[in-house]
């Protein structure tokens, strides 16, 4: 594929749980992909999402990713980022339900919900573990590299 064909074929979708729109975008995406008139395929899309602050503990990263995949209605993301480098207290979620019942995942409560015991390093290790354990792949994004360059102590 030449560069022009690649640019023309690539459609970028960038959402996040705290935008509260991944399920709506997922519905529209599925409708378009399943349309008989569309030549668009999943591999033509570059789908990005972000890990929300209540899910920064390593043991919560996978459930948050599964929720995002459910909301989008896809099997993988091309890029998954840490949305904000500040952890909040965990908010219980059901990764099999679509959408959000409220906006508690985006509520710092004037800083009272910030969890200072969770480092960016822990979050990153939780994200890497999903790939290392073979549970999730990096998708079709083969030319990118994410790397933590430093860690601040609070």
DSSP secondary structure string for all residues of the chain: --HHHHHHH-EEEE--GGGT-HHHHHHHHHHHHH-TT----GGGEEEEEEE-GGG-SHHHHHHHHHHHHHHHT-S--SEEEESSS--B------TTS-S-SSSGGG--TTTTTB-TT--HHHHHHHHHHHHHTTSS--TT--S-----------
Catalytic site positions? 19
């Amino acid at each position: 594929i030449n560069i022009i064909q690649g640019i023309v074929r690539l459609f970028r979708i960038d959402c996040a749980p705290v935008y509260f729109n991944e399920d709506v975008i997922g519905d529209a995406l599925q409708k378009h992909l399943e349309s008989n008139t569309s030549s668009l395929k999943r591999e033509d899309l570059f789908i990005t999402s972000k890990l929300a602050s209540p899910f920064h503990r390593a043991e919560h990263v996978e459930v948050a990713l599964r929720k995002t995949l459910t909301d989008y209605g896809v099997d993988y993301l091309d890029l998954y980022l840490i949305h904000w480098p500040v952890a909040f207290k965990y908010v219980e979620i059901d990764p099999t339900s679509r959408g959000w019942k409220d906006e508690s995942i985006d509520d710092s409560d004037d800083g009272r919900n910030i969890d200072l015991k969770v480092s960016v390093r822990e979050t990153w290790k939780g994200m890497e573990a999903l790939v290392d354990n073979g549970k999730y792949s990096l998708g079709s994004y083969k030319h990118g590299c994410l790397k933590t360059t430093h860690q601040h102590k609070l």
